[in-house]
Amino acid sequence: MAVYTHLGAEELAELIAHYDVGELVSAKGIAEGISNSNWLIETTGPNGKGARYILTMYERRIELADLPYFLGLLDHLSAKDCPVPRTIHDRAGDAFRMEHGKAVALIEFLPGVSPTQPTPEQASAIGEVLARLHLASGDFGLVRANTMGFADNLRVLQACGETGLASINPALPAMLEPARKAAELDLGSLPQANIHADLFPDNVLMLGSKVTGLIDFYFACTGAMALDLATTHAAWSFDDRGRYRADVGSAIIAGYESVRPLETNERALLPGIAKGTALRFVASRAEDWLDTPDDALVTRKDPMQFVSRWHYYDDYGAQLFA
């Protein structure tokens, strides 16, 4: 989340008036994230009791044609009692509107706090919820290709160029060769579902060890469930100094398998998938580092954090997922 487009109070009030949520009380820009403009919206509420929502304006990486998938998946999962925010439809019944030539959507606000140092209990809970999400998404009627697949990651790194990568860190161009190898992995034979594909701790809301919300589904796609699990493992299992937390990593896998046991072919490919998903964030962060305007209300994320994780999976992945 971030703020790239600035809307005035009058514009926001006029926009919110298209929804049956009461009158606008306040709007605060949210600085975290990299792809969209977001505001925390407070209104008088549809019943006059006050309510909070997230307003999102889609800025980057989002194709208009994908929004029915993203927003429909939220509604589908919410209806199946997954901890996912529902879309607030406007008075005409539409899930999104156009403002300044860009799509905007109003999303239910869910309570909770994103964990900064996840406990094993929290990691187990997110593994369980991820498996539940995979099972619940099986009868969702829409599909979407993964636009951040391993071959796409290679193309992103190549587009950054060795000079551009080296301007971020001199060691970064060396990741081009591992990205070429990851692009050769075929995940098509693995069990598929509609997956979140970006389940970092800051995309999870929790109260204690209970998951109260999964948010930011804008990388969601139809793909291998093992890819989603590996992405979550890479995002949760390392501390802020890059050290692997074995208790958290093993708890994620155990929590997931308490709901949906991994198949033999999934487990066999997990080490390679984990390396590939680490490279995905090397590529996306490098691209964002080079493309983010200096005056944007956003903090750049260091791709080298995931270079370190790639090296860990390269050294120990076979042991981690045995």
The verdict on 56 and 187 lying in the same domain is no
Cα angle 292, 238, 56 (rounded to 5 degrees) comes to: 40
Which two structure tokens, joined as six digits, stand for 165? 């990568």
The verdict on 293 and 196 lying in the same domain is yes
**pTM for the full predicted model:** 0.90
The verdict on 168 and 316 lying in the same domain is yes
**pLDDT over threshold 70, residue 33:** no
The verdict on 195 and 306 lying in the same domain is yes
1 pLDDT band, cuts 50/70/90, is: very low
| CATH number of the domain where residue 130 is located | 3.90.1200.10
59 pLDDT band, cuts 50/70/90, is: confident
Domain count, the chain: 2
CA distance 25 to 32: 22
**How does pLDDT run across 153-186, given as a tens digit for each residue?**
999 999 999 999 999 999 999 999 999 999 999 9
Q: Which of 209-218, 263-272, 286-295 has the lowest mean pLDDT?
A: 286-295
C-alpha to C-alpha distances, 312 to 166, 176, 244, 284, 306, nearest whole angstrom: 22, 17, 8, 19, 10
Q: Residue 96 CB: number of other CB atoms within 10 A? A: 21
In a domain, 33, yes or no: yes
The verdict on 81 and 134 lying in the same domain is no
In a domain, 58, yes or no: yes
The verdict on 16 and 162 lying in the same domain is no
The verdict on 243 and 134 lying in the same domain is yes
Pairing of strands 102-108, 192-195: unpaired
Q: Which residues contact 102 (CB under 8 A, 6 or more apart)?
A: 5, 57, 58, 59
State mean pLDDT over 260-277: 97
**pLDDT over threshold 70, residue 2:** no
Domain limit, last residue, from 108, 139, 167:
108
| Domain, as residue range, for 58 | 9-108
The verdict on 135 and 269 lying in the same domain is yes
DSSP assignment of 67-78: HHHHHHHHHHHH
pLDDT score, position 6: 75
DSSP-derived secondary structure letter, 247: H
Domain limit, last residue, from 108, 141, 171:
108
Q: With contact defined as beta carbons under 8 Å apart, do 51 and 58 qualify?
A: no
Q: Which residues contact 222 (CB under 8 A, 6 or more apart)?
A: 143, 144, 145, 146, 192, 193, 194, 195
The verdict on 37 and 69 lying in the same domain is yes
| CATH number of the domain where residue 95 is located | 3.30.200.20
State mean pLDDT over 77-105: 95
Q: Which residues contact 198 (CB under 8 A, 6 or more apart)?
A: 216, 218, 219, 220, 231
Domain limit, last residue, from 81, 108, 135:
108
Mapped onto helix, strand or coil, the DSSP state of residue 191 is: coil
Indicate the average pLDDT of the chain. 93
In a domain, 289, yes or no: yes
Kindly calculate the radius of gyration of the chain based on its CA atoms and give it in whole angstroms. Answer: 20
State mean pLDDT over 228-249: 97
In a domain, 68, yes or no: yes
Beta bridge partners of 43: 24, 51
134 pLDDT band, cuts 50/70/90, is: very high
In a domain, 32, yes or no: yes
Exposed / middle / buried, residue 77 (Cβ in 10 Å: 0-12, 13-18, 19+): buried
CA distance 151 to 145: 13
The verdict on 104 and 141 lying in the same domain is no
The verdict on 127 and 89 lying in the same domain is no
